[in-house]
Copies of this chain bind each other. A is one copy, B any other.
Amino acid sequence: MDTTIEQAVGILRRNQLKITKQRQALIDYLVTYKDHYVAISEVDEHMRTLFPGMSHNTIYRNVKEFETLGLLELKAQANQTLVKYQCDFKHQHHHHFICSNCGKVQELDACPLDAFEAQLPGCTITGHRIEFYGLCADCTAKLGASKSLSK
């Protein structure tokens, strides 16, 4: 068995969650999304081909449970929620570069938190999200686009 999967199953176990065949299959599937986001609704669809008649509720509930365990990252989008597998369970800061063409997600290090903290005296910073959008190197090599508006 893949070490990544064993790790995930271990986390379930340590949190007293039962290892059902549905959860096992869900992990097996989500593990393939380490550097892309998938819509939960697509996960739902996939799971229901593996387990015809599987309840939507079960799928959505598990995805959210997995997120609170740190197994997944969720990301809100218009009308949809996206999921991505979280392979590095210990790494807390996640700054992403997301290719708007192919959807590939690249991790960035270097966190400029300090520079911003100084601007927020008296505040409690509990989290932050930094995301860049554009075209990854591969896609930059092939594409282009434009638009204009008067203001």
* Chain A residues at the B interface, C-beta cutoff of 8 Å: 11, 14-15, 68-70, 74, 76-79, 81, 89-90, 95, 97, 99-100, 106, 108-110, 112, 115-116, 119-137, 139-141, 149-151
State A65–B122 Cα separation when bound (angstroms): 38
* A76-B76, A108-B116, A110-B115 given; 18 more Cβ-contact pairs under 8 Å: A14-B151, A15-B150, A69-B151, A70-B149, A74-B78, A76-B78, A110-B116, A116-B130, A122-B136, A122-B140, A123-B135, A123-B137, A124-B134, A124-B135, A127-B134, A129-B129, A129-B133, A130-B130
State A137–B129 Cα separation when bound (angstroms): 20
In the complex this chain forms, how many copies of it are found? Answer: 2
